Amino acid sequence: MNLSLRQIVICVTALLLALATVILMSQNAARLGTEPLLVRALLLSVAIVAALIAVYPFNPIFKDKPGAYALTICLPALIPGFVYFLILFPGQAGSGVTAEQLQSQLITDSSSNGIIEVGFSYPIYTPTISVSNHELFTSQVNVFLRMIDGNNESALFRAVRRRIPGSGLSVEASVQGMLSENEEYLFIPLEIPPLRTVTGQVVFIISNLEDGSTFMEALGRAYQAQFELRNPENGELIAEFPLTRI
């Protein structure tokens, strides 16, 4: 089959558009999850139609019949994207955000006994958590750790942030800089795409305890220890789940 230069250009362009759209949707699920369902349906339909246009010259049935191909193949191909995002996808949705702790650990190093040296000695607690978003749109949450002792006194720790205000060097900025290269660590606010689960290690700097052993002792003495998920905008409590010492 001989293809003209024009056909080759159209095929390659359509194929690149289809690939770019699929990559955009898969690699930016959280960002895409902030868009209306109609926009998501349109993007999926663009990828499908672009792929069909790319293979058109190789379909002998519709040779030299682009109008018939568009009406009988491309136009109906728009339907699945809209059916999925406007009918099937909402049917899978639930309500709210849920989470659980999977593991509990300090960062360990033979030379520091669980303490990162950043000009000060603080235990770095990095529990593994799993956060599930049951809604149709991306959810953002901040993660806190609350410990309540036998005197009903509460200690609240905020996880390390993704973006730290100011340009000065701080303990939080130092820890974030050292750990940000590892994709296992999560920084707040967490972004959970619709109907997805994000799993990883959140990072807490336990700034009012001297070392890792003291922190573990405090956990053992705590009357209650739990994680809290809060709205980054207004601090509203979204969900809470217990700290488990695994």
Q: How many CA atoms lie within 13 A of 25 on its CB side?
A: 17
| Residues 77, 104 within the same domain | no
Q: How far is C-alpha 223 from the chain's CA centre?
A: 32
CA distances to 21, 62, 134 from 72, rounded to whole Å, are 23, 10, 37
CATH number of the domain that 146 lies in? 2.60.40
| Residues 28, 68 within the same domain | yes
| Residues 128, 231 within the same domain | yes
| Residues 105, 63 within the same domain | no
Domain end residue (candidates: 67, 92, 117): 92
| Residues 132, 158 within the same domain | yes
Question: CA–CA separation, 146 vs 238, rounded Å?
Answer: 14
Domain end residue (candidates: 62, 77, 92): 92
Task: Quote the number of domains for the chain.
Answer: 2
Domain end residue (candidates: 58, 92, 126): 92
Q: What pTM, to 2 d.p., does this model score? A: 0.82
- Written as tens digits, the pLDDT of the chain (246 aa) is 567 778 888 899 999 999 999 999 999 999 999 999 999 999 999 999 999 999 988 888 888 888 899 999 999 999 999 999 999 999 998 999 999 999 887 665 434 444 454 445 667 888 999 999 999 999 999 999 988 877 777 778 899 999 888 766 777 888 888 888 888 999 999 999 999 999 999 998 876 554 445 566 667 677 788 999 999 999 999 999 998 865
- Tokens in use for 4? 């003209």
Q: Residue 70 is which amino acid?
A: A
Domain of 73 in residue numbering reads as: 5-92
Considering only the C-alpha atoms of the chain, give the largest distance between any 2 of them, rounded to a whole number of Å. 83
Question: CA–CA separation, 228 vs 246, rounded Å?
Answer: 18
| E-assigned strand segments in the chain | 97-103, 115-117, 121-125, 128-133, 139-148, 154-158, 185-186, 190-192, 196-202, 204-205, 224-230, 237-242
| Residues 211, 118 within the same domain | yes
User: What angle is formed at CA 116 by the lines to CA 110 and CA 120, rounded to 5 degrees?
Assistant: 130
Question: CA–CA separation, 10 vs 8, rounded Å?
Answer: 5
